[in-house]
Structure 1
Amino acid sequence: MTEPESDLFEMRRLESLSNTIFGVAMTLLAYDLPKPNFAQMPGWLDLVHTYSGRLAGLVLSFIIAGVFWISHHRRLARQPLCSRGVVILNLFFLLSIVLLPVTNGLYGNYRLSSAVAVLYGLHLTAIASLNAGLWWLAIRGGRHAEIVGAVFPVIVFVPGIAIAALAPEYVQYFWMLGFGGLVARRFVRAEPEKAADDPT
């Protein structure tokens, strides 16, 4: 009985690593903010022109990273032990988080470029897809609300790639819909409770 369990990995070790990775990645998002040397005292228009687009990209990436951090830790709490394959897949997920400051820096500086917006959209889709796949492996058909909440951002980010190619200046507003997974998960969770209260 103990021999098969010896091949399993304790996810609390991965949790410590993931806290560090998310913390560093979310901090580095601000690294590419411009540090301008204005020729004269800047006015409000100068500040808006310099920081508005980059701050929007930073806030979007920070919120996305925060949402996936919450999802990641909720998943680890439901999966205290896992196989080596799942650990490796989790490491790829964390790698996608490590790369977020890179694509965020590109998007913050060249957000009107369709190529850069598509690259950023592909990255967001990869993060969401890895998260959804890991949730599926963690619960194996149970708790459908979790699967819905994890798949919802993928459904948003995939068409967002096409929007990024055609209208990169507007796609960031569409990407915000990815946070609807939190609402979708709560809505699906309420269904079994409602059914349980039904005497029929």
Structure 2
Amino acid sequence: MTDPQSDLFEMRRLESLSNTIFGVAMTLLAYDLPKPNFAQLPGWTELAHTYSGRLAGLVLSFIIAGVFWISHHRRLARQPFGSRFIVILNLFFLLSIVLLPVTNGLYGSYRLSSAVAVLYGVHLTIIAALNAALWWLALPGARSAEIVGAVFPVIVFVPGIAIAAFSPDYVQYFWMLGFGGFLARRWVRPAPAKAAEKIPQ
């Protein structure tokens, strides 16, 4: 008989590719850090002026990439096989991760620019939306804690785009709320079933 899974793609192979992509993208985040040649020994003021903005953007992007890497692997563990459409959508998700060093470099250099902040916010929203869509397809018909945790960053990043347009210097603190997806997932997780009550003698 024909194996019903013969037309499906083994997601473990995609997991190997995603590990490489996430690893390279997260490493390249540090590529745009300045490599200044100070005329004299720098003090704390010079170091803060040179690195503070870009380092803050790097840390934010690294944490975001790490959060989505965890979510991605949790999803693949629950979806051992996928259709061609699922695989293509996963590749678009990985493409959005590949582009993260590009928008991070822009944001680290020009984070006070509303246009750059909006572009970075749109990119974060696309990553979160693709991740949420993949979770929805991996658990069809379910309203699980995993889906709530995946949708939560989208709810945060969408209004973050508007905030970035008017307050690019403060929006990074609002984006941090996107990490609340972990808390949201735990909050909606069903409590463990209580032990059955003893039947009275």
Please report the TM-score for the alignment, with normalisation by the length of structure 2: 0.95
**Which residue is 2:191 aligned to?**
193
Letter matched to residue 168 of structure 1: P
RMSD of equivalent CA atoms: 1.5
**CA–CA distance in 1 between the matches of 2:119 and 2:41?**
36
1:151 and 2:151 matched: yes
C-alpha deviation, 1:2, in angstroms: 2.7
1:70 corresponds to which residue?
Answer: 70
**Can you list the C-alpha shifts for 1:23-46, whole angstroms capped at 9, x where unaligned?**
000000000000011111111100
Report the counterpart of residue 99 of structure 1 in structure 2: 99
Local SS of the residue matching 1:129: helix
Cα deviation digits, residues 130-163 of structure 1 (max 9, x gap) = 0000000001123510110000000000000000
The residue correspondences of 1:1-200 to structure 2 (distance < 5 A) are 2-142=2-142, 144-189=144-189, 192-193=190-191, 196-197=193-194
Give the superposition deviation at 1:82: 0.7
User: 1:198 and 1:117, CA in 2 relative to 1: closer, same or farther beyond 3 A?
Assistant: farther
Q: Distance in 2 between matches of 1:3 and 1:197?
A: 41
Letter in 1 for 2:21: I
Please state whether the residue corresponding to 1:140 is helix, strand or coil.
Answer: coil
- Deviation of the 1:4 alpha carbon: 3.7
Deviations 1:41-92 (A, max 9, x none): 1111000000000000000000000000000000000000010000000000
Alpha-carbon distance in 2 for matches of 1:146, 1:18: 20
2-structure distance, mates of 1:32, 1:2:
52
User: Greater Rg, structure 1 or structure 2?
Assistant: 2
1:5 aligned counterpart, secondary structure: coil
Structure 2 alignment gaps of length 5 or more: 197-201
The number of residues matched between the two structures is 197
CA–CA distance in structure 2, aligned partners of residues 103 and 47 of structure 1: 23
